[in-house]
Structure 1
């Protein structure tokens, strides 16, 4: 491995023969059919986790491509959607198992049995007069808030990053004593709950036996606290679900001059809900209740084959659209530009970025102002290899290393040889020691030769003057 004191980029062997590659930005030059794509494929095969952007792969050509583009945008931002709807999902999870109709049936049964029991008061026998015959079970509340408080204290006590700030305001010993006391309280509560559950089991068994031995009406059980809480939870859920359907822009993300806008709206019909579900199920009946969130939830739960874990996504539609620098939705060419920038940014999740002739699909101004800069930024953290014939990419980008693929005839057979070196080197060198002049390679590959370069230069000067 070699390290340049000027550029600070390491050179690492990438092929079996020891051919080197910079850990920074590499450009791969060569004539047509000289082995550039072959070289790129070899690098791709040898790196475990490569990001490869093939030539023409990101070009948007028709309506089908536009649909694929929109699907890609939605899929790439699914993590944002899940995060945004996370709070709503948590509330829905509290409501999803609440059956208000069943609760009302229990309430009606309680009232009916209470009234009937009152009319039979003078006909009670020895079994119905026992205390346990009409005894209610213990209400049991799990100590979740106490458990959460203990967990929070443990986080504060064990935190090392902000230990100095914490100890400025509270003594660590006091926090530990508080945590110990709360843990003892939690254990006591847990023991009490176990006792109540055991007692409830005994009460239930005894009441069942007494019921079998008497004709008196037993007052039905109902937990008024749970009954009231369930109704309150449903009201909160319906209020939030209704607000969520109000149209609003919920995020603006800038990417190299483009703006990704996320909007929240209500679903326009059963077709949109079906599309969002990713299934072939029918949602016509469910959509009839769309404006009554709890009833809509119950209808969704009744659809066989619909995953309960994804139901929360069917309450509000979150869509993304890409806007250009002028604030208008992107055209076909702009979609391609955005996709290239997006794929280059995504390369940060890989071990190397390989791009095959980006100039085949994009104009020079876009390449120079947008692509070159983002490639330089990424090359600071991972190797980048760009195959190019274009001087905007090849010359203006400021590469750290040059690879030159050349097809040479040896003993009547074609042989692909790879030369390499830094841009400041006078010559590029192959593994077998052969050399080639860097200036000639660059001129022929990027400028169509010295004569063409000088001719264009003269014409540009004439136009300018």
Structure 2
């Protein structure tokens, strides 16, 4: 993460108030605000001698620039600094065309003076007065890198609006010798080094500009060889046999608790293949009796595999972080965030599985002919039919209520999305606390059932031609015993270390962590 301010004035012009530049104040500003890169952007002029003096004195990267009056708005134009004489000459042409405060150049004139605008970083006043007109923005087109905004709230608006430019927030400060209160208006960009091309790329990506350091990513030393990684997404590029897999293997060895999906392993993973592997595990070296004995538990295991406790915890963490951020940004509250629907939660839909079972059971009693006499000895057929009608009416009512809830949830969701896009304040993430609590209860119950199943017992005993065939159940004694039973070459030692905690063992055995 690097902090930049690309809108700084060091020379008083016809468009500015009178002030006396101080190089020591500039150094003090850079030091106090911990800035990593600046651009000098005076109104309609460029002072080459002063720029060279600044560049030789300050300890950070300095880029040459100019703030140009274009039509009725302002445009920051920043160069890479490799051709200072040529840039100085072009800026003198701008100064000659704008001798007074109310003068300006057109986009056509700008393009004539700077024929290749793609060489520069162009940042127009966007949500900041005086704004560049829509017509001028359209003429400049893709040569624009970002748009300067006037407030953090407008910065957030632009980030959320897909049609808006990438926002930047700069000081627009005059470095006066009498300056006391230094501006806090700077922008963080997600890059490792301040160079012209890197900065330009960052300013064209909304995912790489931030108002706070903690919102972005950071680099850290990953390997002793000097490899650095980002806390965000990392991509290793290279031709065949250039060390990509070796680097990944080294990272896997260096760090603990790494989820390493090796090359081509994803190509072999699909739901049907996983199901087949589970079924093969049951049938291999097991009798039909064993399969029948474990079938009810297999159904439970299939359901528990989808319970992701870590994902639930991440959802709660996201909720708490968004809640804290929402509270911290209370001063940004606007009419959108004040709406009752801004943080509204969805209506929870009812589960009809119990009601469906009752209806099916009642229908079975009504339609059964084999035991009709026995049934009618205890319950009259008319009463059963009346019960069936009542249950189906209840089902219709609950279904209608669920449909209404679903419609309202869709409506609320669409309204919330619209409010979130237009508001500067961070919305509070939705989280289903009931589902999370139920998952924890499921895990507790699953652990109890699995531990009970591990208790040694005799499943069946048969006498066959003078021999006693006894089927027993007992827990595995070790990872090797489990491996031998599975018939697979996979190591079970890591998973087996959690054998006393059934849910943890299940997660590790299925390769989720």
Instruction: Give the TM-score band, short-chain normalised.
Output: 0.3 to 0.5
Query: What is the TM-score with the length of structure 1 in the denominator?
Result: 0.47
Greater relative CO (CA pairs within 8 A, separation 6+): 1
Query: What is the TM-score with the length of structure 2 in the denominator?
Result: 0.42
